[in-house]
Amino acid sequence: MKTEENLSLLTDLYQLTMAQGYFQSQKLEPATFSLFIRSYPPNRSYFVAAGLSDVLQFLETFAVDAAGIDYLHSRRLFAEDFLDFLKGLRFTGEVRAIPEGRIFFKEEPVLEVTAPIIEAQIVETFIINQINLQSLIATKAARCVHAARGRAVVDFALRRTHGLDAGMKVARASYLAGFAGTSNVRAGQLYGIPIVGTMAHSFVSSFEKESDAFRAFVTSFPNNSILLIDTYDTLAGARKAVEIGKEMATRGQSLQGVRIDSGDLAKLAVAVRKIFDDAGLKTVRIIGSGGLDECDLADFSDANIPYDSYGVGTKMGVSADAPYFDMAYKLVESNGRPVLKLSAGKDSWPERKQVFRLCASGKLQKDLVALCDEDVAGAEPLLKKVMEHGAIAAPLPSLESIRATFLDEFARLPDSIKAIRNPATYPVEFTAKLQTLRLEIEKKVKRAE
């Protein structure tokens, strides 16, 4: 319940033991760490950048408090002079990053931190935690939005997200990726996201009769009623909703919609649509929910199933088919010396980098990963300086503007890359200079070791 009080110690112990190792070796030199995703999970060919705002706010306020220092002292692991140093430690470095809402690809640095090595090391855990989660969910949500082909999609995930912070970040990341709203009231309050909601089965079953429940609800919300019709029998529920809709019409009101949450969602939507159309209630919308993911939405789109919008919950909120990215934060430069690691399956590219994006006829065409000081004519450099000397370099963009950035770029991503199943691979190349450097460093390391 109190996880948010002392974020600076939300780190892995080894960050602190290494920090003491650096401190006692008098390694206070600058270093650059690069954050990237090593590979695509199944059916992914792009990622949506998200989470940077939280990272920058964390870095700007980083400070281990007195209770934290006391706790570390009690562990009898750390030297007094190191704990004194840690007490005064603030993040004073530079961050370059691909802005939130932009699309990025595997092996591309989405963020680079340059700072005295201890500072850059200690913040690793938080940085990965937030950017991994928010990019994971933004990517999953983008797939849902794409699959729904213009139908609204809203976030119903809060009850099954992994904890409370995830509940908030899932609402934020899915809205960023084009969702129309969230059921999460607190996310509405904090982030300004539209909040949406219908009713649950318990409301229906708390009344002796289903139609009593429907009547009570539309009396409370004459302008905003979406009736849940599958508590007992969906088609019978639809016919009762028709009666309610007709009653409302006599009062000059109109029933907004109905929701179907179980059963054969495709068949039921067709049958329910017919019931309302036959009754002359063509404006009543049908909302689908209940274990949906982007594959279901794509199938419904293909088959023209008459849903007007979708609530997606659990499978989006935990990115069920790919619940993590293989995201890494690797040392690429230490005191001016380019470095890499060669661990099997976990190798890394040396040096500070820039990602260049080439477009053709308005569409994304190819990315080039380059050394930081290279220039690629006609290409857009994606990594921007967002923090300097430990201070946020420019006002953080609003969630609405991040969302607009995403929707604009997503429209320019080729459909083959956006495919829900078996997407094509977007071309990402490494410049000759970077490839040459990597070979050199590899040779040098192998000689030395």
- 217 to 276, contacts with a second copy by CB under 8 A? 217, 219-221, 224, 230-233, 236, 261-264
Write the CA distances from 337 to 231, 256, 346, integer angstroms: 65, 64, 20
- Residue 411, CA distances (Å) to 48, 135, 178, 265 in order: 13, 18, 11, 29
For residue 301, the minimal CB distance to a second copy (Å) is 23
**Binding positions for a second copy, 151-190, rule CB under 8 A:** 156, 158-169, 183-186, 188-190
Count of residues in contact with a second copy, rule CB under 8 A: 120
Please name every residue paired with 288 in a beta bridge, in sequence order, or none if there are none.
Answer: 260, 310
Crossing angle of the two packed helices 80-87 and 13-24, in degrees rounded to 10 = 110
Q: Which of 251, 361, 421, 449 binds a second copy (CB under 8 A)?
A: 449
Closer CB to a second copy, residue 25 or residue 304?
A: 25
C-beta of 47 vs 356, nearer to a second copy: 47
Handedness of CA 66, 71, 73, 77 (dihedral sign): negative
Q: Which is nearer to a second copy, 176 or 204 (CB)?
A: 204
Q: How far is the CB of 170 from a second copy (least distance, A)?
A: 8
For a second copy, the closer of residues 7 and 271 by Cβ is 7
Task: Give the whole-angstrom CA distance, residue 232 versus residue 356.
Answer: 56
**Residue 135, SS3 per DSSP:** helix
* Two structure tokens written together for 256: 């907004």
Least distance in angstroms from the C-beta of 361 to a second copy: 38
275-294 binders of a second copy (CB under 8 A): 290
Distance CA 72, CA 78 (A): 7
| Residues of span 86-145 touching a second copy by CB under 8 A | 117, 121, 124-125, 128-130, 132-133
How far from the centroid of its chain's Cα atoms is residue 224's Cα? Answer: 29
Closest distance to a second copy from the beta carbon of 83 (Å):
13
Nearest distance in Å: CB 2, a second copy: 7
Q: Which residue lies nearer to a second copy by CB, 117 or 382?
A: 117
**Structural tokens at position 145:** 């939005």
| Listed ranges 90-98, 211-219, 300-308, 351-359: which one lies at the site for a second copy (CB under 8 A) | 211-219
Interface pattern 20-59 for a second copy (x via CB under 8 A)? xxx-xx-x---x-x--------------------x--xx-
Bridge partners of 429, per DSSP, are: 368
Task: State in angstroms the smallest separation of the CB of 415 from a second copy.
Answer: 29
Residue (333 or 367) nearer to a second copy, CB: 333
| Minimum gap (Å) between residue 264 Cβ and a second copy | 8
Q: Give the nearer residue to a second copy in terms of CB position, either 375 or 449.
A: 449
| Binding residues for a second copy restricted to 304-343, rule: CB under 8 A | 314-315, 318-320, 323-325, 327, 330-331, 334, 337, 339-343
Q: CA end-to-end span of the chain, whole Å?
A: 47
Give the span between the Cα atoms of 363 and 156, in whole angstroms. 32
Q: Does 397 bind a second copy (CB under 8 A)?
A: no
DSSP state of 261: -
Cα-based distances in Å from 322 to 36, 73, 305, 394 = 17, 39, 27, 33
Q: How far is the CB of 186 from a second copy (least distance, A)?
A: 4
Name the residue nearer to a second copy (CB basis): 142 or 187.
Answer: 187
Helices (H), 251-371: 265-278, 294-302, 314-317
The C-alpha atoms of residue 220 and residue 218 are separated, in whole angstroms, by 5
Nearer to a second copy, 240 or 403 (CB): 240
Residue (1 or 377) nearer to a second copy, CB: 1
What is the spatial distance between Cα 255 and Cα 258, in angstroms, rounded to a whole number? 8
Shortest Å distance, C-beta 265 to a second copy = 10
Minimum distance, C-beta of residue 363 to a second copy, in the bound complex (Å)? 33
CA dist 80 and 184 (Å) reads 45
d(CA 110, CA 272): 46
Residue 127 contacts residue 34 (beta carbons within 8 Å):
no
We find the least distance from the C-beta atom of residue 356 to a second copy, in angstroms, to be: 26
Specify the amino acid at residue 319.
S
Q: Which of residues 62-81 bind a second copy (CB under 8 A)?
A: 67-68, 71-72, 75, 77, 79
Instruction: Show contacts with a second copy in window 365-394 (CB under 8 A).
Output: none
**Binder of a second copy out of 13, 249, 391, 432 (CB under 8 A):** 13
Distance CA 254, CA 299 (A): 30
Which CB sits closer to a second copy, 74 or 361? 74
Nearest alpha carbon to residue 427 among 339, 325, 357: 357
Give least dist CB 307 to a second copy, A.
Answer: 17
